[in-house]
Amino acid sequence: MSVPGEPFSRASLFLGPVLEGFGFQVIAREYQDGVEASAFAEYSRGPLRLRLVWEGTERALWVEAGLASGGSMITRWQDIEWIVAGEPLPLDRTVDDDRLDRLGQAVVAYLKMVATKSGGRADGQH
């Protein structure tokens, strides 16, 4: 039997250390109650924000990126797998270890893209 939100908890435990390894700190977590509840965990490194999202209705996990200034988002959240792929992808509803691996790989690829554009390193160091 699956516990509501279990995929989000597993993803948080898997991706949290990956993001922290790149210099991100968790700044917010939100959990809703109910069978189709949603949840997110937001991570920050400078102006860059990454957000792990569990959409309970769709039963899907993804990671979004955005920019903030002065505590307010200044860009829209964008799916990092779409950014890395260069095009919209079908919604991935798998929640197994392979899905977590794909999300982790997408995070690393996205951060390398950001580092290349900014002339820095993916780990946030210059």
In the chain, what are the domain boundaries?
A: 6-118
Is the distance from CB of 124 to CB of 46 less than 8 angstroms? yes
List, in order, residues 6 or more apart from 13 with CB less than 8 Å away.
none
pLDDT beyond 70 at 4: no
pLDDT of residue 117: 82
pLDDT beyond 70 at 53: yes
Give the integer Cα–Cα distance in Å for 94 and 4: 15
Distance of alpha carbon 97 from the chain centroid: 16
pLDDT of residue 19: 96
pTM of the model: 0.88
pLDDT confidence band for 13 (50 / 70 / 90) = very high
9: left (phi over 0), alpha (psi -120 to 50) or beta: alpha
Give the residue-averaged pLDDT of 58-63. 95
| 72 strand-pairing partners | 69
pLDDT beyond 70 at 126: no
